[in-house]
Structure 1
Amino acid sequence: MPSGSGRRGGGDLPTGGQPRLLEFTSGSCAACARMAPIVNQVERRCLAVADGSLVHVSIDEPEGEALAERYEVRALPTFVGIDAEGAEVLRMVGVQTQEKLASAIGEVRGRACPPI
């Protein structure tokens, strides 16, 4: 995993004053397991410079569960884009393509990912 991404339980607001794309997952989620290689590929492509734009949030941890409640996550995986103040700006639910995920990261951080 690139050093710019973070795995976290997630109770505190993970903005650090910057926009973020939160990836809500669980160890028991089959769709999350299918998404893992796609997320890893997009991280390598889009986040070559570690910037923390993508934050992995496990709902298996109490803090992650609390953050999922805050953002009303009802299905997994869910990707929630938040602005610097923590307000939701986009949401994607379920398995996503590399292109959609890269586009979401680009939208959240304000600069596009390199093309495939």
Structure 2
Amino acid sequence: MSTGAWIVVAAVVLALGLGLWRAATDGRFRGTRAVRRPGADTGPGPDSMPAASLPGADLVAAVGATLGERATLVQFSSAFCAPCRATRRVLDEVTGIVEGVAHVEVDAEHHLDATRDFGILRTPTTLVLDAAGAEVTRATGAPTRDQVLSALARV
């Protein structure tokens, strides 16, 4: 085989590996990352902070919504994102099933500061906030109904 053919084979194998990895991790909820506000000190953790000062609570209030009694599903989305529409349907379905859970959709393009503060790299990204507004877990990509229900069971 010529060098060009080996390059094509290597590119196909690499693309296949990347595609399989992305399919396996898309929509899976994993640990949360600490949200650090610019100029914030390393004071007390979220457990000892009042709800109004938690970044999740501030974000929900900024988009004109309220936190759910049990949990809040915050979806970062963008206008031309097809998986965002599917995620919206799934999260709306879950809020109809589980009492005390609210769904808040945030347009990532119109809330760039929040997008940066929360470390959102792609849409859709779903954050699960507890009743106080602290981030519990997050998923990038379109989660399934069962994945969302499983994440809510941990709240």
Q: TM-score, normalised by structure 1?
A: 0.62
Aligned to 1:66: 113
Q: Residues 38 and 85 (structure 1 numbering): CA distance in 2 closer, same or farther, change over 3 Å? A: closer
Cα offsets for 1:48-89 (capped at 9, x unmatched): xxx45332212132xx32211111000111112234665432
Higher relative contact order (CA 8 A, sep 6+): 1
Q: Does structure 1 residue 53 correspond to structure 2 residue 105?
A: no
Q: Does structure 1 residue 90 correspond to structure 2 residue 137?
A: yes
Alignment RMSD (CA, Å): 2.9
Structure with more of its chain in helix, by fraction: 2
Does structure 2 retain, via aligned residues, the 8 Å contact 1:21–1:105? no
Q: Residues 72 and 31 (structure 1 numbering): CA distance in 2 closer, same or farther, change over 3 Å? A: same
Aligned to 2:96: 44
Any gaps of 5 or more consecutive residues in structure 1?
Answer: 1-9, 109-116
Q: How many residues align?
A: 94
Describe the SS at the equivalent of 1:43. Answer: helix
CA distance in structure 1 between the partners assigned to 2:117 and 2:86 by the alignment = 25
1:94 positional shift: 0.4
Any gaps of 5 or more consecutive residues in structure 2?
Answer: 1-55, 61-65
CA distance in structure 2 between the partners assigned to 1:34 and 1:85 by the alignment = 27
Q: Does structure 1 residue 79 correspond to structure 2 residue 79?
A: no
CA distance in structure 1 between the partners assigned to 2:78 and 2:146 by the alignment = 23
Identity %: 29
Cα offsets for 1:15-68 (capped at 9, x unmatched): 75x753311111211110222222221121113xxx45332212132xx32211
Query: Higher Cα Rg: structure 1 or 2?
Result: 2
Describe the SS at the equivalent of 2:154. Answer: helix
Q: Does structure 1 residue 13 correspond to structure 2 residue 59?
A: yes
Describe the SS at the equivalent of 1:76. Answer: coil
Q: Residues 93 and 26 (structure 1 numbering): CA distance in 2 closer, same or farther, change over 3 Å? A: same
Runs of 4+ in 1 over 6 A off after TM superposition: none
CA distance in structure 2 between the partners assigned to 1:36 and 1:53 by the alignment = 12
Describe the SS at the equivalent of 1:53. Answer: strand
